[in-house]
């Protein structure tokens, strides 16, 4: 596996691959790989000739009080895991590559899509995500990019951006990869104490309960949301950000 | 000369050219070609293997009270002129191609660069320009794009965007092409009555006077600006938007 640090070298490699008629599959990441990342990489390698992964902890998608400084990192471990998954190139730029001196350009999806759910408590988050993904797509020139469904709002936002900006790539969704007890895998799970980790499964249990209620015929949004809240609140470590039912694919409030 | 109306067909042609190792030169336009446009096209054809021109009157760069509806158009005449200039493909999409239903994504350069001069009286103009140029660059995949220096602020804004978004193309500036009396060529000159057209030369004369003052050793911004204002105000049809001296390449106020 090749490791590339500059945008110029990455773009040249992508041009070379494209001129050879090779299909490029791409997985953008912030590193600290778990099995979820690895599955996206395997999918990229399976469906493309060349699998490219980017590893960059993007500062503009973190809010001022968020966890940018302590975000977990393990570059050598990540490289070994990506290589084992069959990745052909790891693009690991530093910030001077991704944000040239004086950088002041951003890409934003300006709709409900970025204002509700996570967009409400993290007002600049999606702007950071769309800006970095637009740059990465421009540099890596993939035919498709794979995103995990765990960050479902992010997936919808990226799809909207790609369509609106006439970007010539497909966005592929990969199902959420879960721990044996059902917790969605996440690099940020490393922040949890053993006790918190045990309680975190409440999110999965609550979603399962909601699905079961729906399957049994329950159609009241309020009842379903209350059930989710009830299950989560049984975990003393849980702090609620939001529980909402939203419409696909624009995340509109279905009750309005 | 090929005429292409869809983003998909344009992207496929660009991919084909690139995979053949051909260099693509690009001139984005809003049509109603004058000799200024033609010179940009000749430059693109001279320095590239394939010259691509886009013709699209982009609504998002017009303000609500501006001249979108009456902007001059002459598609057949434009095609004949572009073909004569050696253009290989004319990309002439309609709005459903450039702004898919529900489009809500924009690209913005968020700095002084877009807030001063024309950015001050046309607050959403540059956001419209950067959004459409980002899309056009993505679709046409040029190795370089040519912009006229007449729209100098636009040139600087586009250069900033290209650098910030790691776009793999060069932005080439072409000197302003002028009428025999010195007026910069512009599609919008068609709006002028014969009398207004005669008086419009005052802009060129005022700039020449400012240059001469500078060459003679004048360094007071105020004196130079007052000279420009004096020359322009002699024309009864002239309405002043701004007269300012600004620093390169960030358009900062050099007196601050």
ipTM of this complex prediction, to 2 decimal places: 0.94
* A54 secondary structure, DSSP code: E
Mark whether B121 and B7 lie in a shared domain: yes
Closest residue to B164, CB basis, from A104, A164, A166:
A104
Residue A256's pLDDT band (cuts 50, 70, 90) = confident
- In Å, how far is A244's CA from the nearest CA of chain B? 23
Mark whether B212 and B159 lie in a shared domain: no
Tell me the β-bridge partners of A25: A51, A144
Query: What pLDDT is stored for residue B112 in this prediction?
Result: 93
Inter-chain CB pairs, A–B, below 8 Å? 98
Residue A37 is a catalytic residue:
yes
- In Å, how far is A49's CA from the nearest CA of chain B? 16
Mark whether A61 and A140 lie in a shared domain: yes
Q: Mean of the pLDDT values across residues A230-242?
A: 95
Q: Is A115 within a domain?
A: yes
* Most B-contacting residue of A115, A162, A165 (CB-CB within 10 A), to test interface: A165
Q: Is a pLDDT exceeding 90 seen at residue B255?
A: no
Q: Of A139, A174, A209, which residue constitutes the final position of a domain? A: A174
Q: Is B44 within a domain?
A: yes
Q: Of A174, A200, A217, which residue constitutes the final position of a domain? A: A174
Query: What pLDDT is stored for residue A190 in this prediction?
Result: 95
- In Å, how far is A38's CA from the nearest CA of chain B? 27
Please give the residue that has the higher pLDDT: either A29 or A249. Answer: A29
Q: Is A224 within a domain?
A: yes
Residue of A37, A125, A143, A174 marked catalytic: A37
- pTM of this prediction exceeds 0.90: yes
Contacts of A100 in chain B (CB under 8 A): 163-164
Q: Cβ separation of A165 and B109 shorter than 8 Å?
A: no
Mark whether A157 and A196 lie in a shared domain: no
Mark whether A126 and A216 lie in a shared domain: no
Mark whether B110 and B144 lie in a shared domain: yes
Residue A255's pLDDT band (cuts 50, 70, 90) = confident
Q: Distance between the two ends of chain B, CA-based, in angstroms?
A: 51
Cis bond leading into B249, ω under 30°?
yes
Q: Distance between the two ends of chain A, CA-based, in angstroms?
A: 51
Residue B150's pLDDT band (cuts 50, 70, 90) = very high
Q: Is A35 within a domain?
A: yes
Mark whether A169 and A228 lie in a shared domain: no
Helix B152-164 with B125-140: angle, nearest 10 deg: 60
Q: Is B234 within a domain?
A: yes
Mark whether B160 and B92 lie in a shared domain: yes
Mark whether A15 and A92 lie in a shared domain: yes
User: In this complex, is the C-beta atom of B12 within 8 Å of any C-beta atom belonging to chain A?
Assistant: no
Mark whether B18 and B100 lie in a shared domain: yes
Query: What pLDDT is stored for residue B9 in this prediction?
Result: 98
Residue A117's pLDDT band (cuts 50, 70, 90) = very high
pLDDT in tens, A132-164: 999 999 999 999 999 999 999 999 999 999 999
- In Å, how far is B125's CA from the nearest CA of chain A? 15
Contacts of A119 in chain B (CB under 8 A): none
Token representation of residue A171 = 């966005």
Domain around B24? 2-174
Q: Is a pLDDT exceeding 90 seen at residue A175?
A: yes
Domain containing residue B126: CATH number: 3.40.50.620
Q: Tokens 């509109």 correspond to what residue?
A: A252
Domain containing residue B224: CATH number: 3.30.1300.10
Mark whether B60 and B159 lie in a shared domain: yes
Contacts of A130 in chain B (CB under 8 A): 105
Q: Is B179 within a domain?
A: no
For the residues of chain B, what is the DSSP string, one character each?
A: -EEE--HHHHHHHHHHHHHTT--EEEEEE-S---HHHHHHHHHHHHHSSEEEEEE---GGGS-TTSSTTT----HHHHHHHHHHTT-SEEE---HHHHS-TT--EEEEE-SHHHHSTHHHHSTTHHHHHHHHHHHHHHHH--SEEEEETTSHHHHHHHHHHHHHTT-S-EEEEEPPPB-TTSPBP-GGGGGS-HHHHHHTTHHHHHHHHHHHHHHTT---HHHHHHHHHHHHHTSTT----------TTT---TT-
- What is the total count of domains within chain A? 2
* Most A-contacting residue of B18, B104, B135 (CB-CB within 10 A), to test interface: B104
Q: Is A181 within a domain?
A: no
Q: Of B142, B174, B206, which residue constitutes the final position of a domain? A: B174
Cα gap A112→A22, rounded to integer Å: 37
Q: Is B184 within a domain?
A: no
Q: Cβ separation of B105 and A19 shorter than 8 Å?
A: no
User: In this complex, is the C-beta atom of B1 within 8 Å of any C-beta atom belonging to chain A?
Assistant: no
pLDDT in tens, B153-193: 999 999 999 999 999 999 999 999 999 999 999 999 999 99
A147 to A34, A150, A156, A230, B134: CA distances (angstroms): 14, 9, 10, 30, 23
Mark whether B150 and B196 lie in a shared domain: no
Tell me the β-bridge partners of A178: A184
Query: What pLDDT is stored for residue B224 in this prediction?
Result: 96
């Amino acid at each position: 596996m090749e490791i590339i640090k500059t945008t110029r070298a990455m773009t040249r490699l992508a041009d070379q691959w494209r001129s050879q008629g090779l299909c490029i599959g791409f997985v953008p990441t912030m590193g600290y790989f778990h099995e979820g990342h690895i599955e996206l990489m395997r999918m990229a390698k399976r469906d493309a000739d060349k699998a490219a992964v980017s590893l960059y902890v993007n500062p503009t998608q973190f809010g001022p009080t968020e966890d940018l400084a302590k975000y977990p990192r393990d570059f050598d471990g990540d490289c070994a895991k990506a290589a084992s998954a069959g990745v052909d190139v790891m693009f690991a730029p530093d910030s001077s590559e991704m944000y040239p001196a004086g950088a002041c350009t951003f890409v934003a999806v300006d709709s409900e899509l970025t204002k509700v759910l996570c967009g409400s408590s993290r007002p600049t988050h999606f702007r950071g995500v769309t800006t970095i993904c637009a740059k990465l797509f421009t540099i890596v020139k993939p035919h498709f990019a794979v995103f995990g469904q765990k960050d479902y709002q992010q997936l919808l936002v990226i799809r909207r951006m790609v369509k609106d900006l006439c970007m010539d790539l497909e966005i592929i969704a990969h199902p959420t990869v879960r721990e044996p007890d059902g917790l969605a895998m996440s690099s940020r799970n490393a922040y949890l104490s053993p006790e918190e980790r045990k309680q975190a499964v409440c999110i999965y249990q609550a979603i399962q309960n909601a699905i079961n209620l729906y399957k049994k015929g329950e159609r009241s949004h309020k009842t379903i949301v209350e059930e989710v809240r009830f299950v989560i609140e049984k975990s003393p470590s849980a702090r609620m950000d939001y529980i909402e039912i939203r419409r696909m694919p624009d995340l509109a409030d279905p009750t309005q």
